[in-house]
Structure 1
Amino acid sequence: NIFLSPDISTCLDCQEDFENPHSRFYKYPFVNCTNCGPRFSIILDYPYDRNNTTMNKFPMCPECEKDYKNIFSRRYHAQPISCNNCGPIYKLYDRNLIELAVGNIFDKVSELISEGNIIAVKGIGGYHLILSAKNISAIKKLRERKKRDRKPFALLFRDLELVEEYAHVSLFEEEVLKSKEKPIVLLKKKKNIIDSDYDLISGNSPYYGVMLPYAPVHYLILDKNPILICTSANISGEPIVYREDDLKRIADIADYFFIHNRDIERFVEDSVVRVLQTPFLNEKYQKILYRKSRGYAPSPLFLNRSFNKKIIGLGSDLKSTISILKEDNLIQSQYLGDLADYESYIAYQKTYEDIKKIYDFEPGIYISDLHPSYLSTKFAEEISCGKELRRVQHHKAHIASVCLENNIFEEPVIGIALDGTGYGEDGMIWGGEIFLGSLKEGFERVGHLSYTPFPFGDLAIKAPERTYLSYLFSMDIEDGKFYEILSDNTKLHLSTLEKVVKKSHIFTSSTGRLFDCISYLLGFKKKISYEGEPAIELENLIYRKFNIDNEIDSYLVKISNKEPYIIDVKEILKGVFNDWLGDVESELISLKFHSTLVNVFAEVVSLISSKYKIKRVALSGGAFQNNYLMYNFLKKISQSKLTPIINKYSPPNDACISVGQCALALY
């Protein structure tokens, strides 16, 4: 079996060398040792030797070669070893990629940042766009150029003390921030970095996405600008730029380019993590991955039993990843993006070939999503070449991923999968599902949110007004106040749109679309600027006046009295609509809606658990990135003397689908 190390942040020993004026690594932006530095992003082939990495064009100086061969040195066989005398170097270019002759290049970069410029900085796994987090005009310029209207930006802080000035940091959050992976950690704001009514960095979010420096170059550019916006260098929706040939994609965004001459073999974006306090569980903190990449990928998942199979899971079209499973371990790729973007799809195809080559892996079983129109499904059909190809239902893969990551193979579980979209076995759009089963016996759908007409497809996902209309017309709502909030153009075509909804042959049980409907009602009237935005804004409403552990009476909900247990969303919406008409504050309506979802699903779980004597409950799906839902589902289930289990190796969003696909092919 072949295992590759992820890229690891600069260790404390190398930081000391970096700060030591007598060291040949003094202020060297590529200092590393066997305990830290680039790995996954630079390897060309196996075995992991220097000549098989992108460091192969940098001959070692005598001193580095001496360390490399010294068994007592911590740089013994450190493949990326180099120093100021023999390693890669940085150069500064203007936006026309003409090299600039400057004295101290890092002082110049700091000066340019202070002046409000956007710098494209080549790092470990790709380019970042870096600018001052306190320069309003620079941030506005970045949003306009990057076509990123409202999605929050990540922040790079010089040190933990400065982080604590602007955000609350628990002991476990501090541990994750300072870990060898150094991910972006979502921290609750203490105060705004920019003193203004609207936070240009994170919008309405009560959180900042924060990371500490993980590469030596960060320490150099943070010296005079201690808080930086540090976001992937791309147009929103595209993969991160990591090769010089692709710099034209960001030529209209960056003012300057800060480029080193070590090639990046594969792009690796920053990982994103949230820490959830769970005092009611044995594990008092849960580390939940939102994006799994640098620092975590491609670490293996070790299973407690072995299978004589070679399986590849080709994932979903959103939050795409690829996983391979052989014998007693599984390896998942880094985050690859959304395949609807051409550049992401090209990267996805390249990753497939890369995995086969670097792990010397030839799949025996190919697994794709059930959706016939997914690019990943069509790709699986093209590459399987007569070998066994199985198509797995999306939400079953969600639950299967949790089982595999917790080494549960034959024991039955109750599974709750909540998200926006997944092609169902009946041809409808699922997304609010309850399952019963195991990896060995498979999973059966035993409950779900009631169906609602959904004729508008992707248009409604991007413009929640259409989703709102689908629910209104399906409930025969006549009160004119619910139509007054519609756009003028939509009002002109109401009768036509109603006919479309009434004649729809497509229905959905999606949790995400229910969130979109209520978010629109409570004020989110914009076109969506990033995936999940209406649901995120609906959750954010809670935190304006309430906390994550606030409990409240739920709306009344009807549940069918036999399997499959159908949760009537119309009853939930009646409660929401009545409160809205009664001028109940939006924050309270959002809290009651969230609380209702938790309580009604917990009630169905209790019915199933009592009937089948099953104690484990698996939770997965993009909706469990909602902090309130995850916290209160875990709390409610544990209070019922049941055992909740969640994704630990992969994110609960669609990134885990490739893991679950492999899991469902084991038997």
Structure 2
Amino acid sequence: MAGETVGYKKEKTCLQLKINGIVQGIGFRPYVFSLAQKFDLKGWVRNGSGGVLLEIEGEEEKISSFCRQLICNPPSLAKIDKVEQRTIPLRNFQSFEINSSQAQQERHALIPPDLAVCRKCLGEISDPNDRHYLYPFTNCTHCGPRFTIVEDIPYDRCKTSMRNFPPCPECRQEYDDPGDRRFHAQPVACPCCGPQLEIRDRTGKVVSGESNWLEFFWEKMCQGNIFAVKGLGGFHLACIVQSSAVQTLRNRKKRPFKPFAVMCRELKTVEKYCHLTEDEAELLSSPSSPVVLLEQKKDLFLPENISPGLNTLGVMLPYTPLHFLLLQGPFEIMILTSANPTDLPILKGNDEAQEQLKDIADFFLVHNRDIVQRCDDSVVRIIGGELQFQRRSRGFVPRPVELGFQTEATVLGVGAEMKNTFCLLKDNKAFLSQHLGEMGTLESDGFYRESLDHFLRFFDLHPQILGYDLHPGYYISATAKSLSVKNKYAVQHHHGHFASCLAENGFGGKAIGVILDGTGYGIDGAIWGFEIITGDFVNFKREYHQRYIPLYGGESSIKWPWRMCLSYLVHSMGEEGLSVARSLFAPRFERELKVLEKGINSLPYYLPTSSCGRLFDAVAALLGICYENTYEGQAAIQLGELLNDKDIALPLDPYPFLLKEKEIDFFPMFPVMAGEIKKGASVSLIARRFHDTIVKAIIMAVKEVSGRTGLNAAALSGGTWHNPYLLRKIVNILAQGKIKILLHRSVPPNDGGLSLGQAAVAYWRWKANVPGDTHEGN
């Protein structure tokens, strides 16, 4: 018929949609509601443990436009993984509604991470005429707690720690109003109905309540007192940025050198103390709001004891209304560091914090909203324009990492002994836990099992395959063996690192691995750590490694870098090296040195190592930078901080070394370095030449392996790759040689990302029906 529009007919139809992904807790249902209103469609939407389910009825053309906009332009915080759509009989709906949630047999819903406070909420708590004025638990659909308060899915208030706070009529009205940004915001609260704060002293006595807590906090902080502050995922310790207060915190916490993080009022404050790029500013201001490692400005000094021996500073912005309020007073910056006793998990309960921190904190700023899941701050850095995680936790967990393969079974990687995370593989996703820290105590074991149970329940997972570290003495390996999983595979540490990098890059073929770290149990019983390997998820072959060097004093040498330096000097220079060691270390360690000298020739009794971390320790001690590691990687970090961006542009100037018979021998550089020290060469120059030596050795080894095997992809993994100079220099040179570089961008290169590799190796060995543990070429 003339004039008739070709295309959709104005016939009514009804569709049912099942949507999986991060679609709960981020305003997805209100968004669906608003779209239905826009296109004049009827039906309903609800949360389920499988995701979001909706039925939509109306004209075909309008439904098509609705679906297109929903899938192509979802809410900014949503991530749609899968949409199942089917036509169903007409329901003759009269309106569009948000229905009550229902549990489903399949549990595919993904809970979003905790989200930093948004600008609109900050505006409300700053407005004296708003009912949220100065309220530290203000939130909306776009911000606030999620992962740390959720007990189960579907994500509804009754399944969070907010169930103890029934909303008042005003909050209920906002919650029910489709035009309000708090429409179906589960943690919605105000001073009338939500959580409340109080300040206690060391004895537990309440010294300040709702009315004057903020003024009390400012007054006591300015007097140099230390506060334990209950935050989003656990307690922090806070003090003002004043040398005496910082030192008091160090003395009480028994943390002499490990750097503290700071929280700044706003970006302008950050720019006052640190150099800040656009990418770094964007990270700081993002909903994830991590701690970002920044270069300090030299012309505006902060107390040196905040980050001793370092040019970088860990900085974050206020990510909760509470933090925002704390920094609206007489100071614009404060120390804010995790409140966990040494080697124990971050604290989350008011009573446990009161008991375990009573000798550290003077006052306790607590509230009555329970923390369900502990979750420490994430720590990131921009290196060469790319994001690198040092710790992946708050703001990112439990968001999954996409895999380049689909699994046919559920897999668990139990993680490492240090910087532990666990990882669960399901379908094409890897779910890594929050940072769990160091294993080996009853408390850490309890935290581990609690978190694992939480994830398994969340996603209704039952692992059939398990990967764990090959080290026979690791506590976490014993935990792995106690779990009731049918198929278990012990994964060699560096194979796990290698596989982690392959997995997050979606690389399924064979590649070269350059794995540099501090400690990993080798298949020959030695401690590995400077490894050039080839292989894939199933197998690996060791192509090159650093020449073995004995650990004088056993694993205690990890704590004392000067002992590693003694070992390198003696084995590279003989009696002359011993003489150099005496001149350097006898004034400080005379008694220990004499004891070690007596056993120098007892090589069979010393544990051999190829560790890159121990090599850095030795050079740091040789240069007088660090004699004792009071925290993991201290010597290596301080040595790396002697270099800057300008050094990267300089040509390589390496010391002599040897590459032969699968060994990289750095012994020849020690006599040269010792000679330069004697001549008064600058420490920074020697440090740069040392780094250049490692760069040159790796480049030569990778090129030789590539030429011999035909492999043209190299995966860089292990904690040493946090060193910006090494990473940028090697990436720049290898890229010129047409070798594809695989880097960590979604998980840390350190042991925090190891669980992903363990899970990947275990799965593919199971899939290939390869029995036994991962050994070289097995």
Asked whether the two chains share a fold, i.e. TM above 0.5, the reply is: yes
Taking a change above 3 Å as real, the CA distance of residues 148 and 550 of structure 1, as seen in their structure-2 partners, is farther
Q: Select 1:107's aligned residue among 215, 229, 241.
A: 215
Equivalent position of 1:484 in the other structure:
583
Mapping of residues 334-483 of structure 1, within 5 Å: 334-384=434-484, 387-409=486-508, 411-439=509-537, 441-454=538-551, 456-475=553-572, 477-479=574-576, 480-483=579-582
Equivalent position of 2:233 in the other structure:
125
Q: Which amino acid aligns with 1:348?
A: Y
Residues 552 and 564, structure 2, Cα contact 8 Å, conserved in 1:
no
Equivalent position of 1:331 in the other structure:
431
Equivalent-residue separation in structure 1 for 2:501 and 2:445 (angstroms)? 26
Identity %: 38
- TM score, norm. by length of structure 1: 0.94
Q: Select 1:606's aligned residue among 689, 694, 703.
A: 703
Shift of 1:145: 0.3
**Unmatched tracts of structure 1, length 5 or more:** 278-284
Matched residues, number: 649
Equivalent position of 2:132 in the other structure:
25
Per-residue Cα deviation, 1:588-632 (whole angstroms, up to 9, x for no partner): 111101111011101111112222222221101010111211121
Equivalent position of 1:531 in the other structure:
632
Mapping of residues 615-630 of structure 1, within 5 Å: 615-630=712-727
Equivalent-residue separation in structure 1 for 2:530 and 2:703 (angstroms)? 17
Equivalent-residue separation in structure 1 for 2:437 and 2:300 (angstroms)? 29
Shift of 1:358: 2.2
1:203 pairs with 2:294: no
Equivalent-residue separation in structure 2 for 1:408 and 1:119 (angstroms)? 47
Q: Which amino acid aligns with 1:130?
A: A
SS at match of 1:273: strand
Equivalent-residue separation in structure 2 for 1:662 and 1:442 (angstroms)? 14
Equivalent position of 1:232 in the other structure:
338
Equivalent-residue separation in structure 2 for 1:210 and 1:334 (angstroms)? 20
Equivalent-residue separation in structure 2 for 1:465 and 1:2 (angstroms)? 52
SS at match of 1:307: coil
Taking a change above 3 Å as real, the CA distance of residues 494 and 457 of structure 1, as seen in their structure-2 partners, is closer
Per-residue Cα deviation, 1:288-315 (whole angstroms, up to 9, x for no partner): 0001111011110122432201100001
Q: Select 1:307's aligned residue among 404, 407, 414.
A: 407
Q: Which amino acid aligns with 1:512?
A: G
- Find the structure with the greater CA-based Rg: 2
Equivalent-residue separation in structure 2 for 1:305 and 1:624 (angstroms)? 26
Shift of 1:505: 5.5
Equivalent position of 1:245 in the other structure:
351
Residues 315 and 657, structure 1, Cα contact 8 Å, conserved in 2:
yes
Equivalent position of 1:264 in the other structure:
371
Equivalent position of 1:281 in the other structure:
none
Shift of 1:485: 1.7
Equivalent position of 2:618 in the other structure:
517
Out of 316-325 and 547-556, give the one that drifted further: 547-556
Mapping of residues 570-581 of structure 1, within 5 Å: 570-581=667-678
Equivalent-residue separation in structure 2 for 1:467 and 1:346 (angstroms)? 35
Equivalent-residue separation in structure 2 for 1:30 and 1:252 (angstroms)? 28
Equivalent position of 2:169 in the other structure:
62
1:150 pairs with 2:257: yes
Out of 56-65 and 356-365, give the one that drifted further: 356-365
Q: Which amino acid aligns with 1:498?
A: I
Shift of 1:466: 2.2
Equivalent position of 2:52 in the other structure:
none
Equivalent position of 2:89 in the other structure:
none
Residues 454 and 504, structure 1, Cα contact 8 Å, conserved in 2:
no
Q: Which amino acid aligns with 1:622?
A: G
Taking a change above 3 Å as real, the CA distance of residues 193 and 341 of structure 1, as seen in their structure-2 partners, is farther
Q: Which amino acid aligns with 1:391?
A: A
Pairwise CA RMSD: 1.8
Equivalent position of 1:190 in the other structure:
297
Taking a change above 3 Å as real, the CA distance of residues 192 and 354 of structure 1, as seen in their structure-2 partners, is farther
Q: Which amino acid aligns with 1:244?
A: N
Q: Which amino acid aligns with 2:506?
A: N
SS at match of 1:381: helix
Equivalent-residue separation in structure 2 for 1:576 and 1:297 (angstroms)? 45
1:583 pairs with 2:686: no
Equivalent-residue separation in structure 1 for 2:672 and 2:441 (angstroms)? 39
Per-residue Cα deviation, 1:445-491 (whole angstroms, up to 9, x for no partner): 11111111225332111112222222233335212233222211124
Residues 522 and 528, structure 2, Cα contact 8 Å, conserved in 1:
yes
- TM score, norm. by length of structure 2: 0.81
Taking a change above 3 Å as real, the CA distance of residues 101 and 35 of structure 1, as seen in their structure-2 partners, is closer
Q: Select 2:745's aligned residue among 633, 648, 666.
A: 648
Residues 573 and 671, structure 2, Cα contact 8 Å, conserved in 1:
no
Per-residue Cα deviation, 1:404-461 (whole angstroms, up to 9, x for no partner): 101112x22111000000001121111000111222x532211111111225332111
Residues 137 and 195, structure 2, Cα contact 8 Å, conserved in 1:
yes
SS at match of 1:475: helix
Q: Select 1:86's aligned residue among 178, 186, 193.
A: 193
The structure whose RCO (Cα within 8 Å, separation 6+) is larger is: 1
**Unmatched tracts of structure 2, length 5 or more:** 1-107, 765-778
Equivalent-residue separation in structure 2 for 1:472 and 1:99 (angstroms)? 59
Equivalent position of 2:81 in the other structure:
none
Taking a change above 3 Å as real, the CA distance of residues 319 and 192 of structure 1, as seen in their structure-2 partners, is farther
Shift of 1:101: 4.1
1:36 pairs with 2:135: no
Equivalent-residue separation in structure 2 for 1:504 and 1:2 (angstroms)? 54
Mapping of residues 157-172 of structure 1, within 5 Å: 157-172=264-279
